[in-house]
Amino acid sequence: MNNITKTFPGVVANDKVILQVKHQEIHALLGENGAGKSTLMSILFGSYSADSGSILLDGKPVEIKNPNVATSLGIGMVHQHFKLVQNYTVTENIVLGVEPTKGRLLDMKRARERVEALSSQYALKVDPDSLVEDITVGQQQRVEILKTLYRNANIIIFDEPTAVLTPQEIDELMEILKKLRSEGKTIVLITHKLKEIKEVCDRCTVLRRGRCIGTVDVQDVSEQDLAEMMVGRAVKFEIDKPEQQAGRVMLSLQHLQVADISGALRVKDLSLDVHEGEIVGIAGVDGNGQSELLGAITGLLPLSGGSILLDGTSIGNLSIRQRIEKGLGYIPEDRKKYGVVGEFSIAENTALKNYYRDTYRKRFGILDFEAMNQEAENLIAQFDIRSAEGAKTNAGSLSGGNQQKVIVAREISLSPKVLVVAQPTRGLDVGAIEYIRKRIIAERAKGRAILLVSFELDEIMNLCDRIATISKGSIVAVNKQHEVTEYEIGLMMAGSKKEAAR
């Protein structure tokens, strides 16, 4: 890709970018959220057209007007947000649009046989007859990979493939990438996770604010070198967290029982206290009751038993708005689904929880958008939210890191007594991760009680004062951060070791 330029209103997404990928290599495309990585690969896959520049495939110029052309040229893409039909089977999804026929009828038997053969050849184990809605996120990703292989892709683009995976699924994906390379495929890996680049990639091209910073051999550079290329400054992987004395209990979970929407009990007799000025982390493998616990605390799911006290007041039967007014803040695990309204502006998103108060109201209950915009501009400056049109920018057009900053800005600006934080840095680059973690530590210093749910063990170890390990919906141990290792937490998460809570 030579001198690729692509602009959107108010933003130069790609500015004369050069990308050269060798045959049968895993090539990382690294950059901050909003650096232009996905835009560049969308141009290669035909989803966007470049304003200028050229693409050469095997030395020959090609014009990729749409994804069908890309597919015909042997280019496939595994998107970050899967493009699957939930009530179709695995096989039906894989062959959708290129269904084999026998006469005038679909030949699904032949399709299924080829899917099974590809699954075996590339170690992509998945049941071809399962409905997509019934399989795990990791298995859905395998379906997306099989879709590209079924269409004979030789170059496969992976867009942030580990953003929605558990640690175990990430390890499996790394092995799949190595297997694809050994079978002659060329991989372009869009990511900002430096450990993954060091583990599987041969070379890495770094983008910063739409421009190409350079291409390096991965074996010749450190994670710190890559981080500095990505953000343009030294990045601290360890966050300074001064010692401080915890205050009184601010959030008390007492013998909680919570069922999921199907009625199955997912949280069982769970008790935990969070004090002023401390961060308590919940460590566990995804699917062990964390989502149901968050739903119960925030009011999205009803309690089946037990009680929740916020500063001594029972909130288990209160509405969501009443919980917010009592001092509950929430940074949700899925920012697109629960955190921001993509079609709303930044100003409207930052006012979502207090728009009805006098701050944003004129006479007769009419909203004061001028006041909303002014407050949003203050938060944009305070939280370094990068947007094309300031407070009027649609939240859906922001990068993941900037969407997360909008949510963090909204929640912190309300000065909550208790801040519940779920997966705060999922899918973010090292610069955004560093920033978000610093803000969480700053809230701890103000005396906030913070409950942190994260699947990233290094995040739990880095930020938390105490760590509660959850397994099968119950807390199996509560340890002070310095009294337990990642290895021991991992054992407890897997249910193979159980200690008395302390």
Domain boundaries, the chain: 2-231, 249-493
pTM of this prediction?
Answer: 0.69
Higher-scoring residue by pLDDT: 342, 399: 342
CATH fold for domain 2-231: Rossmann fold (3.40.50)
pLDDT of 496 reads 59
pLDDT of residue 501: 38
Closest CA to 228 of 202, 178, 194: 194
Return the minimum-mean-pLDDT range out of 106-115, 179-188, 297-306, 414-423.
Answer: 106-115
Residues 284/493, Cβ–Cβ less than 8 Å: yes
Cβ atoms of 153 and 75 within 8 Å: the answer is yes
pLDDT at site 386: 82
Query: So what's the pLDDT on residue 97?
Result: 87
pLDDT of residue 500: 37
On the CB side of 246, CA atoms within 13 Å amount to: 17
Q: pLDDT band at 444, cuts 50/70/90?
A: very high
Distance of alpha carbon 126 from alpha carbon 349, whole angstroms? 40
DSSP tag of 358: G
Say yes or no to pLDDT of 173 above 80.
yes
Nearest to 41 by CA among 1, 11, 68, 7: 1
pLDDT of residue 384: 84
Say if residue 146's pLDDT is above 80: yes
pLDDT band, residue 258 (cuts 50/70/90): very high
What is the average pLDDT across 348-371?
89
pLDDT band at 450 (very low <50, low <70, confident <90, very high): very high
Q: What is the mean pLDDT of residues 40-64?
A: 94
Q: What is the CA radius of gyration of the chain?
A: 24
Burial class (CB in 10 A: 0-12, 13-18, 19+), 182: exposed
Q: How far apart are CA 387 and CA 339, in angstroms?
A: 17
Q: What is the DSSP letter of 240?
A: P
Averaged pLDDT, 193-205: 91
Under CATH, what is the fold of the domain 249-493? Rossmann fold (3.40.50)
Report the distance separating Cα 425 and Cα 432, nearest Å.
8
d(CA 172, CA 201): 15
The region of weakest confidence among 252-256, 265-269, 496-500 is 496-500
> Coil, helix or strand for 205?
strand
Q: Which pLDDT band, with edges at 50, 70 and 90, does 203 fall under?
A: very high
Q: How does residue 410 score in pLDDT terms, banded at 50, 70 and 90?
A: very high
- The average pLDDT across 319-331 equals 95
How confident is residue 376, by pLDDT bands cut at 50, 70 and 90?
very high
pLDDT digit string, tens, across residues 455-502: 878 888 889 999 999 988 999 989 998 888 877 887 787 765 544 333
Q: Which residues pair with 466 in a beta bridge?
A: 280, 480
Question: Which pLDDT does position 499 carry in this prediction?
Answer: 45
pLDDT band at 182 (very low <50, low <70, confident <90, very high): very high
Average pLDDT over residues 356-379: 89
> Which 8-state DSSP code applies to residue 239?
P
For Cα atoms 65, 67, 130, give the angle at the middle one, nearest 5 degrees. Answer: 170
Task: Give the per-residue pLDDT at 467.
Answer: 94
The per-residue pLDDT for 275 is 96
Say whether pLDDT at 60 is over 90: yes
The residue among 167, 116, 176 whose CA lies nearest residue 141 is 176
Alpha helices in 305-390 (DSSP H): 320-326, 346-350, 369-382
Q: What is the pLDDT of residue 236?
A: 66
Q: What pLDDT sits at residue 238?
A: 67
On average, the pLDDT of the chain sits at 89
Instruction: Give the residue-averaged pLDDT of 174-198.
Output: 90
Q: Which residues pair with 257 in a beta bridge?
A: 305
Contact in structure between 286 and 457 (CB atoms under 8 Å): no
Q: Which residues, 6 or more positions from 457, have their beta carbon under 8 angstroms from its beta carbon?
A: 167, 283, 486, 489, 490
Could you report how far apart the first and last alpha carbons of the chain are, in Å? 57
Percent of the chain scoring above 90 in pLDDT: 54
- Please give the Cα distance from 325 to 315 (Å, whole number): 11
Mean pLDDT of 31-60: 91
pLDDT at position 77: 92
Q: Which of 1, 383, 37 is nearest to 209 (CA)?
A: 37
Q: Indicate whether 201 pLDDT > 70.
A: yes
